[in-house]
Amino acid sequence: MSKINAFVDNVGRVIVGEVVANTTKELTIKEPAVVNVQVNQENGQISVQLLPFIFREFVKQESRDEGVEWTFTKNTLVTSQNLELDDAIINQYKSIFKPEPVKQAETETVKLFDDED
């Protein structure tokens, strides 16, 4: 997996994603996600959630498997040269787009009756 980074787009959204190309004019991101910040009205605590740029269910299976790439024009973005994302954000991102395969637990056969010979 390439470097996962964040930037701010022209409408102020913080976007996290896997950088696949970075030229002087464009930034191409595989599987971008928008950072959604919510404030709990009762206690004022802030929670952070990543939302896919486009929901995977909207994309054909073959494109979904390869990962959709989006190209952003750099003259509309704010980027950081020394940003290092926290592991919790990276892990949340990976859990959305690179989920661990579910391991099938081995089932034990329970013998209910004795075999008669």
pLDDT in tens, 46-98: 888 999 998 878 888 888 888 899 999 999 999 998 999 999 999 999 988 87
Residue 108 lies in a domain: no
C-alpha distances (whole Å) from 108 to each of 11, 31, 105, 111 are: 55, 40, 9, 10
Residue 111 lies in a domain: no
Per the structure, the count of domains in the chain is 1
Phi then psi for residue 9, to 5 deg, are: -90, -175
Q: What is the CATH number for 86?
A: 2.30.30.100
Residue 41 lies in a domain: yes
Say how far apart CA 90 and CA 97 lie, in whole Å: 11
In this structure, the dihedral spanned by the alpha carbons of residues 28, 4, 63 and 97, taken in order and rounded to 10 degrees, is: -160
Residue 106 lies in a domain: no
pTM: 0.75
Residue 114 lies in a domain: no
Q: What percent of the chain has pLDDT over 90?
A: 50
Q: Write down the pLDDT at residue 108.
A: 67
Residue 112 lies in a domain: no
Give the structural domain span for 41: 4-97
Residue 79 lies in a domain: yes
Residue 39 lies in a domain: yes
